[in-house]
Amino acid sequence: MKLKKFFLAVAVFALFAIAARSENTKGLLLVANKGDRTLSIINPTTGAQLAAVAEDGVTGHEVVSSADGQLAFVPIFGNSGVGKPGTDGSLIRVIDLEKYAVVGTVDFGKGVRPHCAVIGPKNHLLYLTTELENSISVIDPKTFKLIGAIPTGQTESHMLAISSDGKTGYTANVGPGTVSVLDLEKKEVRKIIPICKTTQRIAISPDDKWVFTADQAKPQLAVIDTTKNEVAKWIELPGIGYGTAVTPDGRRLVVAMSGISQVGIVDLQTMKIAHVLDAPKTPQEVLIRPDGAFAYVSCSASGQVMVIDLKTFTAEKPIAAGKGADGLAWAATTK
């Protein structure tokens, strides 16, 4: 009888823990699957895939959710890597996250290779890189209309980060190995920062003090001081870095190292790697849950999303997504 009560108590505790975790989550995990050409909509608490919505395009690499968590925007980049020969995407698919269906399309009318999409933190407009235009395009997420463009002054502007006040953008320009600093209000380039031979991905700290981008020739991350708009220091890594994201408290940066299938956690007080975890094959993009409790890392070759507990710095059971899992986004919901 005592044993029965013990197991009952454990079960009740587990249920409360799951309920509390679900309450804190309040959102959906979105995964752009390059291989399947689908968007996975996932319950992050259970790891269950609620739907895999066909994008009807070749192929979406990235995804972002609207500010209200009702829609997902998937830029259809094309079937090649940045700067490489292949198809030139011209569309953005708009997916309803309750209906699990495409409900709209933004059509540029020509090949522009739309890629990284970011919602402006203040105006909630949709900003995305348009590689073949050497620009950032601005979309009204309610009307699905193009309302502006911001030149980057560089080719292969592939990834974008925006400051918390919504006034400044930073693009990682892959081939030139530079970062463009953009005035999003005046729609002009403030400065182009030389980084390295080739750079990839970009992230900004919550206090807007630092911008991070990964050297693709050496295992190191560039740390840009945004007050001076220049590289202030380098963070040494065990392997070539790729996707990065900073925790909401600004204390840690999570970096995917695709070539060695590991994920590093950087202590931003010391600017050094503090933890290294083995990951499923070819980790790509990093997303930190809004409450800072977990990091999600898409792993392309395995079709999985790695889940990292940021309190214990341990990996939990990975979440099954789709073939070529790449871009990640969080859709905040009230349900």
Q: Is the peptide bond before 282 cis (omega within 30 degrees of 0)?
A: no
Class in CATH terms, 29-248: mainly beta
Across the range 11-37, mean pLDDT stands at 66
pLDDT recorded at residue 20: 40
Residue-wise pLDDT for 273-282, tens only, equals: 999 999 999 9
Percent of the chain with pLDDT over 90: 90
* Residue ranges per structural domain of the chain: 29-248
The predicted structure's pLDDT at residue 13: 41
Give the position of tokens 């349900």.
335
Kindly report the average pLDDT of the chain as a whole number. Answer: 93
pLDDT at 57: 83
Q: What angle do CA 80, 81, 83 make, to 5 degrees?
A: 105
Strands (E), 97-241: 101-107, 114-119, 126-130, 135-140, 145-151, 157-162, 168-173, 178-183, 188-194, 199-204, 210-215, 220-225, 230-236
Asked whether residue 109 carries a pLDDT value surpassing 50, the answer given is yes
pLDDT one-digit tens code per residue, 218-250: 999 999 999 999 999 999 999 999 999 999 999
User: Which residues sit opposite 318 in a β-bridge?
Assistant: none
Q: What is the pLDDT of residue 25?
A: 59
Own/partner pairs, 270-277, CB within 8 angstroms, 24+ separation: 271/223, 271/233, 271/235, 272/235, 272/236, 273/235, 273/236, 273/237, 273/238, 274/313, 275/313, 276/238, 277/306, 277/308, 277/313, 277/314, 277/315
Residue 23 has pLDDT above 50, yes or no: no
**pLDDT attached to residue 252:** 98
Residue 295 CB partners (closer than 8 Å, separation 6+): 245, 247, 254, 263, 286, 287, 288, 289, 307, 308, 310
pLDDT tops 70 at residue 8? no
Confidence of residue 333 (pLDDT cuts 50, 70, 90): confident
Count other Cβ atoms within 10 Å, centred on residue 123.
Answer: 14
Tens of pLDDT, residues 250-293 = 999 999 999 999 999 999 999 999 999 999 999 999 999 999 99
Q: Where are the beta strands (DSSP E) in 178-324?
A: 178-183, 188-194, 199-204, 210-215, 220-225, 230-236, 244-246, 252-257, 262-267, 272-278, 283-288, 294-299, 304-309, 314-320
Which element (helix H / strand E) includes 271? none
What predicted TM-score, i.e. pTM, was given to this entire model?
0.92
